[in-house]
Structure formats: structure tokens, C-alpha cells
Structure 1
Amino acid sequence: MKCDHSYTNKEKRCPHDAQEGKKSCIWHEEVEEKQLSEGDFHGLDLDEAYLVEANLDSSDLEKCSLANANLQGASLENANLSGIMAKEADFSRAQMRQADLNGSFLKYASFEGAIMANSDLRNCDLSWVNFSKAIMTGAQMQKSSLLDAKLDKAILLHASLYRAIMRGAELDGADLQIADLREADLRGANLRGSNIRGADLRGANLKYSNLEGVILANSNMQGAEFAKAQLRNVYMQGSSLEKANFRESDIENADLSDADLENTILRGANMKGANLNNANLHNTDTFNAKIKGIKNLRYARIDDIIIAERNADAERRGGEYEEALKLYDEAITTYIDLKNYFSVEGLYGRSGKYYTREWVVKGKLQRTAAMMDSEKLKENKFLRYYLPFSFDMKESKRFSFFSKIESWVNWFLNKLLYHTAMYGESPARVLATSLTIILLYSLFYWSLGAITTGSLHFLPSFTESLYFSAVTFTTLGYGDYQPKPDFQLLAISEAFLGAFVLAFFVVVVSRKLIR
């Protein structure tokens, strides 16, 4: 007589014989603690089997069908469960150390509180599976699908999740210390409050994921994707983040001390309150990143010439002028942010360095615009800001002429300011410029015999010419020497330059002292 078990699917009938004197087979009899260890049950249809607290240690259940089976508290240590079909099966609190579930279909199953240390779950479909509070130390889950799986407070210490698909997974409070998460897909996953210390996340995709308060200290996250992720209050001390992407992510109050962020993308990221003590920011892209309020940026290793400027130089040399303009504009924005940050922090020397770089790049931008095709320049969004006169003339037939003139004039003035005053950052350069002007004019006066004391036969010495040049430049005008009528305009030009340069010197010194 066949088992009379009534399936959820009314049309299905149990293929197993009923036990002697009973209506149910051994699999559907609702008796706990069945002793079935070391049995060979290969390929059996065990759908909706009742195996609560059953002993199935070392049993062979390969390719069995266990859909909707109840295995709560069952012992399946060292059991062979590879290739099973166990949709919606209940393995809650099961003992499954070193169990082999390789290639199994376990969609919607529950392993809540199960002990699965060193179990083999490779290549499994674990979508929507409940692993809440499960102990999975050393579990092998490479290339498995864990879509929207529930792993909150699960222990996955030393677990391997290489290339696992975990989109939308719930890992709140999970222990993933020293886990292998290389190239894992964790997009939109919730890892809030989890411990991932020392884990390997190289190439992992955590876009849109929630990692608030996560411990990632000493983890390897090279090339990982964190775009638009929530990383507030994350601990990433000493972690390797080379080539990671944090575009538009929220890293507020994160601890990145001693972290390696070389070649990392931080575009548009919110870094308010983040700790960057001794962090390596070489070649880091921080365009539009919110750096106001960052802690210990002064102790981070930052490039004096940022990568955007260097990339722009390479594009310009390659004739890619449009891309170069875009990158130069990004570099200017970044230098302004760094300048303002260090100014607020009271580090005026470092602020001045980035102020200087800002103006150097503005000069490069003008030179690039001068070399650019006029039609392409006309449509460029930067025209309005860097060539305002040409922008007003963009509909004119002479736009090409005006734009090139304006670009080269702006570039020349930029270079002049750089060499004469370091854009107002170097009083010493202004002083050197003053001395150079005095010396040049003294050479003119001496070689041309341009000054006199009133005597027709007076020939000035170089020392007398130098003296006259100095008093003319400083507008002292003692009157003991005068320019000859033919050279009065020359003397006036020096006096004009002197008044301007000395006033400029006062402004530069005052600016340095006041700030």
C-alpha cells in the first residue's frame, strides 16, 4: 500500500510504500528524531518529507527532491546533498557541518540558525533563502546566487563568496571577517553594522549598497565599486582601496586613516567629517567631492599636481583639446576646493600652493583654447566663463580672430603674473621684478647718456645711472639728476612702472600678513 500523504499539490501522490501497519511512509510520518544516518537515498522524491531532528549524518541524498520538506533541527553532518531540489525546504537549526550541497536548488529555503561550518554551497541557487543567524564559518559559496537572501547576523568567518551574486541581500550585522568576496555582486545589499575586517573585496560591486557603520579595517578593496553607496561611519583603517570607485557615495564620518586610496575615484562623494590621517591620496580623483570638514587632511599624502591636470596635459599634447578643456576645468575646481579647505584650517602655505596651481591651470586652459578649432570652441560650455569677450562675439564672423586674441592675451598676462609675483603669492618675486626693472633702466640711461646734471658735457657713470633709475622708480625724485629732453618719456615710463610695482608689492605683503 502506498503512503497516503496529502501533498500541497492535490494531484501529486507519494511514490513510497507505507510502513507496515501504518498509512504513511517513513518520510512522511510525523515522528521526530528518525535514525537515518549513513543511508543511501540517492535521487529519492522526498518532497514535503517530515525529518524534524532526524539523524541523517553521512547520508547520501544526492539529487533528491526535498521541496517543502521539514528538516528543522535535523543532523546532516558530512551528508551528501549535492544537486538536491529543495525549494522552500526548512533546514532551520539543522546541524550541517561539512555537508555537500554543491549545485543545489534551494530557492526560498530556510537555514535560520543552522550550523553549516565548512559546508559546500558552490554554484547553488540560494535566492531569497533565509540564513539569518546561521553559523557558516568556512562555508564555500563560490559563484552561488544569493539574490535578496537574508543573512542578517549570520557568521561567515573565512567563508568564500567569490563571484557570488548577492544583489539586494540582507547582511545586517553579519560577521564576514577574512571572507573572500572577490568580484562578488553586492549591488543594493544591506551590510549595515556588519564586520568585514580583513576581507578580500577586490573587484566586488557594492553599488547602491548600505554599509553604514561597517568595519572594513585592513580589508583589500582594490578595484571595488562603491558608487552611490552609503558608507557613513565606516571603519576602513589601513585598508587597500586602490582604483576603487566611490563616485557620489556618502563617506561622511568614515575612518580612512592609513588607507591606500591611490588612483581611487571620489568624484562627488560626501566626505564631510571623514578621517584621512596618513591616507595615501596619490592620483585620487576628488572632483566635486565635498571635502569641507574632513579631518586630518593636512596629514594625508596629496599630490601637489593633481591627476586631472596631468591627464589634461596629456590630452592637449595629443591634440584632444575639448577633453583637455574639460579636465582643466575639473582641475581648477579641485584646486579651489583644496585652497579653501586649507585656508579654513589655517594652513595658508598649503592653501597658497593650490591657489598657485589654480592660476597655472587657468593659463594652460587659455593656451588650449587658443589652439582649438573656432567652431568647436564656439559651442564649448567653458567659453562663457573663460573667454567672456569672445562669448559676446560668438555670432560675429570675426569670432575666430577675437577668441584667439583674447586667449593669447589672457595666457600672456597669466604668465606675466606667474613670473613677476607667483600670482601674488611671492613678495620676493615682486622685489626681484623691481630690481630687474631698475637695473634695465639704468643700463638704458648709461648706454644712451640719457641723464644730466645741467652740464652740456656731463657723461653719467653706470653708478650714477643706477642711482637715477632707483630714485625715479621709487618716485623719490631728488632732483640732482634729470633726464635729457629726448629721454623724458623713458623716465616717466619707469616712474609709472615703479608706482604700480611698489603698490603691488605692498598689496602682496599685506595679503600674506593679513591672512
Structure 2
Amino acid sequence: MFEDDRKWQQGEMLSCNDVAEQLQQRARTGQAMRDFKLKACELENVNLVNHNSKHGYRLIDSDLYRANMRGAHCFMLDLSGSSLMKADFTGANLHCANLSNCNLLGTKFHDAKLEHVRWGDKVIQECKADESGSREEQLDLYEQAEEIYRHLRKVFENQGLFENAGYFFEREMVVRRKQMPQYSSRRFISKIVDLFCGYGEQPIRVVAFSSLAILGFATLYFFSGISFAGEHIAFSTSANWQSNLVAYLESVYFSIVTFTTLGYGDITPTGLSRLFASIEALMGSFTLALFVVVFVKKMTR
């Protein structure tokens, strides 16, 4: 560790008139800057870009509470584990920066360049809430996480980066659900919507659910039996595997036309299969409508 690092870690460098220049010089050494106290520090337009290198400078586990980082050049800067609470990054260049495990509560990112930023899977408040044993503490942390996700969603929407906005909207809805009473109907419905379509951000989940539903009902028809031109089609222990395979493929075909409500009428359900077909038709109508809504939402952004 550099001798002057103790001054940074104890906040003694904040009294320097040229603190931004001093920080730039320290960064150029290439050594990690850890646990630096930069609370309310004036770092407007500071240049922390590691030019001619594939790796950025590291300013990790540091305190930048209310720091003025307006217009800062932070390309590929590693800020992981730092407190950026209420820091002002307005107009800053944060391309490819690492902001994982940072406290982003109240952080300002207006007009900042945020492409390819590493945010981590969850903000630190949500991680702490998931691990907390106190429900009161959980609710407070989930509220903070929701506020952060909402702010980031709006920032990305204003910049036209809708893929990122969609991700933070999904996280926003997840932490909102976690604030609901554990066994409430609202939480259950919210969880179902998440599983089906990721709150409208995951159309592939609708496709996956549809495929599983079609194959699942096909298996039910295979064992309960369907009818084609008066011939009963179903699994038979006395038939060879080729005949049973053909019967299963016929069941898959019937399941597809039932799920999509095409209803050609060449194959008809019999016995218990009628109940399964009714349920599948209702489920298919809802699922196809849901897919159209989710797909259009994604494509029209």
C-alpha cells in the first residue's frame, strides 16, 4: 500500500485544493485504490480513464457519498463495493464501468453514458434484504431497492436503452412483490405473472410454458385415449414401441391444434380426454393472447 493511501482512507486528502488532480495521479500508478474516503468530494470532470490498457483503474470499497462526479471520465472504472449514495454522475462517462455491489440509493445518472455498465444481478439493498431475518428491516431495504430500480429504469428509458430499462422494470416488480404479505393472493398472482412472462419482459417464458403445456397434455391424451375415424389411439402394453410412438405423435398433434384452438376435427377426444381438452383450450387461448401482448410490448419500444 502506498504511504499516502492512509491519508485517502482517513479523509485527510479532502482538504487539498487539487484533490481531483491528486486522485488522478494516484490512479495512474495502476494500483488499486481501496477504501478511499471521498465523501462530498469535488471531482467534477475528473479523468480516471486508464488509457492504452484493457483494464480500468480500481476505486473499490470507497465512500463517494454526495461526491460531485459531474462530467467525470470513468470509462471501465471499477467502483465495485463503493458507496455512491447521492453521488452526482450527471453527464459522466461510465461506459463499461463496474458498479456491482454499490450503494446506488439517490445516485444521479442523468445524461450519463451507461452502455455496458456491470450492475450485478441485484442491487446491494435487495441482497441484504434477502439475507435479513427481520421483516421490518427487509421492508425498508426492499423499498430502497425498488427506488433504485425505478430510477435506473427511467434513466434508461430517457436514453432509449429499452433493453436495460426492461431489466430494471422486472427487478422493480420483483422487489415490490417481496414487500407484499407472504401468503397473500396479490403476491401469488404477481409470482405467477413473473413465472409466465417476467412481468412482460420475457416472452421466451411464454413460449417455454406453451411447449411444456402442449407436451404435458399430449402425454395425458396418450394415456387417456383419443379417437381418429373411429379408431382408438392410446398407449397399449401389447403394442410395439413403433405403434406407441405413432400414437404419442398423434397425441402431440391433437394437443397442438387444441392448444392453439384450431380444432380441425379430424381427431376427437374421448372419455377423460374431453376434460383435458377443455382445460387445454382455455389455457391456450389465454397463453396465446398473453404472448401477443408481451411480444408487441417488446417490439414496439
TM-score (norm 2): 0.75
1:264 partner amino acid: S
- Which of 459, 465, 470 is the aligned partner of 2:256? 470
Once the two structures are overlaid, the 10-residue window that deviates more, 189-198 or 260-269, is 189-198
C-alpha contact 1:441 1:469 (8 A) present in aligned 2: yes
- Residues 208-267 of structure 1 deviation map (CA, whole Å, 9 limit, x = unaligned): xxxxxxxx8769864333334444333344565322222233322122334332211111
**Pairwise CA distance, 1:294:** 0.8
Determine helix, strand or coil for the equivalent of 1:250: coil
2:213 aligned with 1:437: yes
* Aligned residue number for residue 353 of structure 1: 167
Matched residue, 1:251: 69
**Alignment CA distance shift 1:259-1:162 (3 Å):** closer
Sort the Cα spacing of 1:479 and 1:260 in 2 relative to 1 into closer, same or farther, 3 A.
closer
The CA RMSD measured in Å over matched residues stands at 3.5
Contact 2:11 2:36 in 1 (8 A): no
Q: Secondary structure at the match of 1:482?
A: strand
Residues matched between the structures, number: 280
The 5 Å alignment of 1:102-501 reads 183=10, 185=12, 189=15, 191=17, 195-196=21-22, 222-237=34-49, 240-295=58-113, 297-315=114-132, 319-366=133-180, 369-370=181-182, 404=183, 406=184, 409-449=185-225, 451-452=226-227, 455=230, 458-460=232-234, 461-484=247-270, 488-501=274-287
Superposition deviation, residue 355 in structure 1: 3.5
Letter in 2 for 1:313: D
Distance verdict in 2 for CA 1:489–1:245, change over 3 Å? same
- The alpha carbon displacement at 1:419 in A equals 3.5
What percentage of aligned pairs have identical amino acids?
32
The alignment partner of 1:423 has SS state of coil
Contact residue 203 and residue 291 of structure 2 kept, 8 A: yes
For the 8 Å contact 2:9–2:37, the answer to whether it is kept is no
How far the C-alpha of 1:181 sits from its partner, in A, is: 5.9
Give the Cα separation in 1 of the matches to 2:129 and 2:273. Answer: 48
8 A contact 1:217–1:235 mirrored in 2? no
Structure whose alpha-carbon radius of gyration is higher: 1
Q: Give CA-to-partner distance per residue, 1:404-425, whole Å, 9 cap, x none.
A: 4x1xx34433443343333333
SS in 1 for 2:292: helix
Say which structure, 1 or 2, has more relative contact order (CA 8 Å, 6+ apart): 2
- Deviation of 1:364 after TM superposition, in Å, equals 4.0
Aligned to 2:244: none
Q: Normalising by structure 1, what TM-score?
A: 0.47
| Unpaired runs of at least 5, structure 2 | 51-56, 235-246
The CA deviation at 1:194 is 7.1
Instruction: Name whichever structure is richer in helix by fraction.
Output: 2
Q: Is the Cα contact below 8 Å between 2:166 and 2:201 reproduced in 1?
A: yes
**Distance in 2 separating the partners of 1:259 and 1:312:** 27
